[in-house]
Amino acid sequence: MRAIVETMSATPLPALASLSPAAARAQDAAYFDAVWNAEAPALPAVTDHRVPGGAGTIAIRLYDPGAARPAPCLVYLHGGGFVLGGLDSHDRVCRELALAAGVLVAAVDYRLAPEHKFPLPLQDCVAAVRGLAALGESWGIDAARLAVGGDSAGGNLALSTLLALRDQGGPTLRAGLLVYGMFAADPACSSQRRFGDGSLLLSTADTEWFWDCYLADAAQRRDPLAVPLLADLHGLPPLHVAAAALDPLLDDSLRLVERLEAARQPHAFRLWPGLTHGSFQMSRRLEPMRGHIAEIGQFLREALAPAAVFSP
């Protein structure tokens, strides 16, 4: 991890907040996504689809590891601070999750901020899950065995999607995967103070810019669907929560786990020692991440089995 941080820091780049959203996306795609998606593992099939929602339809990319039909499916919501990323940014992660779990993975191309502020990206994610439940049978998806997951801002959207589906009539999902999520808009927390100076790939300035892009005003920082750490967490499916130990967002996951425990909500928590934000995409050069992905795969395999029994 140290070698990766030193290599990436050797090329100084403009701060995200100094760029237009389009320029920030181009910089992220060129200097991060292109590096970490290289040499991605092959799959039997990767196909593009669309479901109703958003401004018309939402693009879905379906990753198939050769699962027997009808197959369970993880709906995956990419990270990128609500501003960056898309169907291509987390290609390797989706392929690895599909192989590790032996399930279909459906990546969602939700609308991005600041052009589309809260709640529009969340509405896209909810619509995508509902569309996959309704239409996925023709693509070999078992609508009774769906999970939703994501990393960083995608972790926020995954948890908020579970909350919205719980409160708005379903469908009921079998599991949630939350990887170093943006759950609390708190720039003064301990992990932001310790790790947010920018030397470890993500800064407090970055996370604040992301929140400012996503939310229309400061009042939305008190909306539990925008900041899901504030939500009632009862009645959710089993969750796998993972956090990187050297991440400004570490406290978001630690505080979430405290609230899950208080709510007696079934969950597993894994702290990834020595790793930074962004490491979920770095298995190409970061050997420990391969083991963490294998563990996530086992969680999904068990949670999405025909007769699931959750063991944290």
What is the CA angle 85-91-93, rounded to 5? Answer: 100
Active site annotation includes 206 = no
Active site annotation includes 277 = yes
State the catalytic residue, choosing from 247, 252, 267, 279: 247
State the catalytic residue, choosing from 152, 203, 253, 283: 152
Active site annotation includes 152 = yes
State the catalytic residue, choosing from 277, 279, 283, 292: 277
Write out the catalytic residue numbers.
Answer: 152, 247, 277
